[in-house]
Structure 1
Amino acid sequence: MKKLPRQAFTVEFKTQAVDRVAAGQSIPVVSDELGINDQTLRNWVKASQAGKLAGAGAKVITPTEMELSRLRAELAKAKRENEIFKKGSGVLRARNSVKYAWIDANRSAYALNEMCSVLEVSISGFRAWKRGGTPERKRLTDEQMIALMKAIHEELKAAYGSLRMMRELRLRGFSAGKERAERLMRENGIRARHKRRYKVTTDSRHGLPVAPNLLAREFTPTEPNPVWTSDITYLWTDEGWLYLAIVLDLLNREVVGWSLKPQMKADIATDALTMAWFRRRPAPGLLCHSDRGSQYASKAFQSKLSEYGMICSMSRKGNCWDNAPTESWFNSFKNERVHGIRYKTHEQMKAASFEYIEVFYNRRRQHSSLSYRSPTQYLGDWAIRNQQLNAA
C-alpha cells in the first residue's frame, strides 16, 4: 500500500477535540471517539492550556482538512479486526459461551471491544459470563426498560424511534422486542424528533458551465470511492448563518468530508472535497455528484476535481431527488441536532455538527440502508468480505 504522508491536523479539529475533554470527557473516551492516539490528544490539551494549540510554525492548511492519522488509526483497527476474524472464524457460528471463552483466551492480544464487535457479542454479556452469570441478554422490567430508554433517548438526543431503540437495547446486552419498545416509548412520551419537509436552497442562477447527470440516481455502488455526493445546507444561530458542506461516500453513506463556514462561497465546497480526498485518497475516475449551485460550478471547484482526477456530475435543474442520499443526510442531521434547539453562537453549532458527524453518525448511528449498522461498521464488514473473496 502506498505510504501516507505525515498528517497535519487542523486547528479546528484540535480545538473541537480539546473542548470535548474540557467539557468533562476523559482523554481515552475522546480519542476512541475520534480514532486518534491518546498521547496525541494529551499533547493537544497541554498545548491548549499553554495557548499554543496551533503550534509554532504550524503548517497552514485549509480549515477542514482531515487528519490522516485518523485514517491510519482506522486502517490499523481494520487490520486488527481482520486478524481477529481469521483467528476466531471457527467460533463465529458457535454458541455465545464458546465465543466468550475464545475472547477470554485472547485478551492479551486484542482489545475487548474489537473482539466482541467481530464475534457479534456484547461486552456486558462477556462480563456476565466472566462473573459466572448468564451471558444471554438480560430481561428488564418495564420500569427498568423505561429508565434505560429515557437515558438512551437523552444520550442520543432523541435520534431513535422504536426500531432503532430496540436494536440499541440489544446491542447493550438487554432483551427487547419492537412491540414492547414501541408501547413503552408511546406510553411514556419518548419520541424521536419528527422529520421536516425538504426545502430547496440551491441557487443555480448563474452563467457557469454545468455538467450532465452522470449518476442517474444509481445510489448503490458495490465498493468504496467510485461515487461521492456533495451538497450545502443552511444552519441558523443567534450570531447569524453558518453553512455546512458535506461529501458522502455512497457505499457506506459515510461523511468523508465536511466544511463549516459563515459564508457560502466556493471554498466551502473545495474544502469539504479536500478533506474527503485526504481521508480516502481515491484512485482517479471517481464520480463526484452535486447540484448545479455556483459553488460546484465554480472554476475553483472544477479545478480541484481535475487535480484529483475526478469526474463531475450534476443534478438536473430543480430536481433534488437526483441527489437524494445527501438530502436525506441533511434531513436526519437537522431533525436530530438542529430543529427545536437554539444555538446562541457559531461555536455551539460547530461543536454540535462536529459531534454529530465524527462521533455519532459515522461511528455509531444505525443506518437503515446499511442493515442498521453504522457507516464505519459497514465499511469494516465490507473490507473483511472483500479480503475473503480475494483470498478464495
Structure 2
Amino acid sequence: MAKPYPEEFRRDVVSVARKHEAPLAQIAKDFGISEGTLTNWLKRADVEEGVRPGLKQADAEELRELKKRNRLLEQENEILRRAAAFFARGAAPKMIYPLVLDLAGDGIPVTVTCRVLGFSTQGFNKWRRHPVSQRDWDDTHLTNLALDIHRDDPEFGYRFVADEIADLGVTASERRVWRLCSEQQLWSLHAKKRGLTRKAGPPVHDDLVLRQFRADRINQLWLTDITEHRTDTGKLYLCAIKDMFSRRIVGYSISDRMTSGLAVSAVRNAIRLRGPVDTILHSDRGSQFRSKVFVRTLKSNGLTGSMGRVGACGDNAAMESFFSLLQKNVLDRRRWATKEELRLAIVTWIERTYHRKRRQRGLGRLTPIEFELLSQRATAVA
C-alpha cells in the first residue's frame, strides 16, 4: 500500500503549481507524482481556503472528535449506571475489578472504566495477574488518599500527606507513606531547587559511521543536518535527510524556527515516504538531534541514531557537501525578499533539479532518481 505524501510536501507542490510557470503535467512529472494527484491536491487546497465548496479538513477532524467525544460520554454513562447497580448489591470496594472485566467484555476500554471509577489501570492489571492481598489493597487505598491530598495542595510533601491521612482516621506509618509517595512521584513543589545554569548534555548516540559515508542498499545510512539562510523578513531553516546509497534527499522540513520539531518533522516525512528498516541516522551534536522527542522518534520507528564529535564538521562531511551545493545554486544566487519565496526555490531545486536533472559522477552519471530505479530493477531481477 502506497504511503501518503507528507503534508509539507503537498503544500509546497501546490504553491509551485499555483505560480503557473509550467503546465500541471510538467509540474507533476518534476515532483514525481501523477497529474491526477496534483489536481486533487489543488482542489483540496481550494476547499481549505474557501474558494471551492466542501468539507474542510479542520471541520472533518472536528466532526471526528465530536463523534469520539459522544462515544466516550456514552461509555462513561454506562460505567456509572453499572457501577451504581454493582454497589447497590453491597459489594466491597476491593471487588470492583470484576465489574471492569464485565464492561471490557461489552466493548468499553479498561482505561476509560478505571478513570471514571477513580483508580489506576496498573492496579487492575496487577489484580488480573495475581490475587490481591490485603496489604496490596491497603497500599492502593493509601495511594489514592495521598493522590487526592496532594492534588488539593501540591505544596504538601510526604510528611504533610502522612499527617492528613492520620486526620482521616487511617493508620499508616510515615515511612510507609514516604514509600507510596515515592512510587507515585508525589513531591512537594519546593522539594528541589532549580539550578541557575545548564550545561550541554553528552551525546545521546555513539558514532557508528566514523566518516565511512557508503551504503550498499537503500535506507541503510541516512545523514541529516540543519542549515539556515537570511531573507528580508527573517531567517529560514532547512533540515534535510540524505540517503547515502542514492544521495537522494528522502525527507526535509522548512521552518522559520530552528527547534527540535523541525528535525522531528523531517524524520517523520522521510519515514512516511521510505518506510526504513534497520536504518542508521547520523547527525552532528546539535541540540535538536539530542532532544528527547527526537530520540523517541528514532526509537519508536526502529531507526538507530549515530553522532559525530563536537566541532568536527568532517564527521558529517557528506551532508555538508549537499548544503554547500544548495548554497551555491540557490541560496547565494540572489537576495530573497520573503521566506515563502526562498522556501519554494529550495523545494523546486531539490525536487526538480537535484533529484531529476543533476547527474552525479559518483552514481555513474545518473541522477538520484535514475540510480534508485535502476537499483530496484536490478534487485527485482536478481
Q: Does the alignment reach a TM-score above 0.5?
A: yes
Could you tell me how far 1:282 is from its partner in structure 2? 1.1
Could you tell me how far 1:24 is from its partner in structure 2? 2.8
Match of 2:261 among 252, 262, 267: 267
Look up the match of 1:385. Answer: 378
Where do 1:338-377 residues align within 5 Å?
Answer: 338-377=331-370
Where do 1:215-364 residues align within 5 Å?
Answer: 215-283=209-277, 285-364=278-357
Runs of 4+, deviation exceeding 6 Å: none
- Output the aligned Cα RMSD: 2.2
Q: Is the 8 A contact 2:223 2:282 kept in 1?
A: yes
Higher relative contact order (CA 8 A, sep 6+): 1
Q: Deviations over 1:31-77 (max 9, x none)?
A: 111122212222333444563489612588xxxxxxxxxxxxxxxxx
Q: Is the 8 A contact 1:17 1:30 kept in 2?
A: no
Q: Deviations over 1:99-137 (max 9, x none)?
A: xxxxxxxxxxxxxxxxxxxxxxxxxxxxxxxxxxxxxxx
Task: Pick closer, same or farther for the CA change 1:42–1:315 going to 2, 3 Å.
Answer: same
In the alignment, the residues of structure 1 paired with residue 337 and residue 218 of structure 2 have an alpha-carbon distance, to the nearest angstrom, of 38
The TM-score normalised by the length of structure 2 is 0.59
Where do 1:1-392 residues align within 5 Å?
Answer: 3-5=1-3, 7=4, 9-10=6-7, 13-49=10-46, 51-52=49-50, 56-57=56-57, 206-283=200-277, 285-388=278-381, 390=382
Q: Which has the larger radius of gyration?
A: 2
Q: Deviations over 1:241-269 (max 9, x none)?
A: 11100000000110001011111110111
Look up the match of 1:152. Answer: none
Q: Matched residues, percent identical?
A: 29
Q: Is the 8 A contact 1:21 1:27 kept in 2?
A: no
Task: Pick closer, same or farther for the CA change 1:216–1:362 going to 2, 3 Å.
Answer: same
Q: Which runs of 5+ in 2 are unaligned?
A: 62-198
Could you tell me how far 1:319 is from its partner in structure 2? 0.9
Could you tell me how far 1:280 is from its partner in structure 2? 0.6
Normalized per residue, the structure richer in helix is: 2
Q: Is the 8 A contact 1:363 1:374 kept in 2?
A: yes
In the alignment, the residues of structure 2 paired with residue 47 and residue 211 of structure 1 have an alpha-carbon distance, to the nearest angstrom, of 41
Task: Pick closer, same or farther for the CA change 1:8–1:34 going to 2, 3 Å.
Answer: closer
Q: Is the 8 A contact 1:209 1:297 kept in 2?
A: yes
Could you tell me how far 1:13 is from its partner in structure 2? 2.5
The TM-score normalised by the length of structure 1 is 0.58
Q: Which runs of 5+ in 1 are unaligned?
A: 61-204
Task: Pick closer, same or farther for the CA change 1:25–1:256 going to 2, 3 Å.
Answer: same
Q: Is the 8 A contact 1:21 1:30 kept in 2?
A: no
Could you tell me how far 1:22 is from its partner in structure 2? 2.9
Could you tell me how far 1:323 is from its partner in structure 2? 0.8
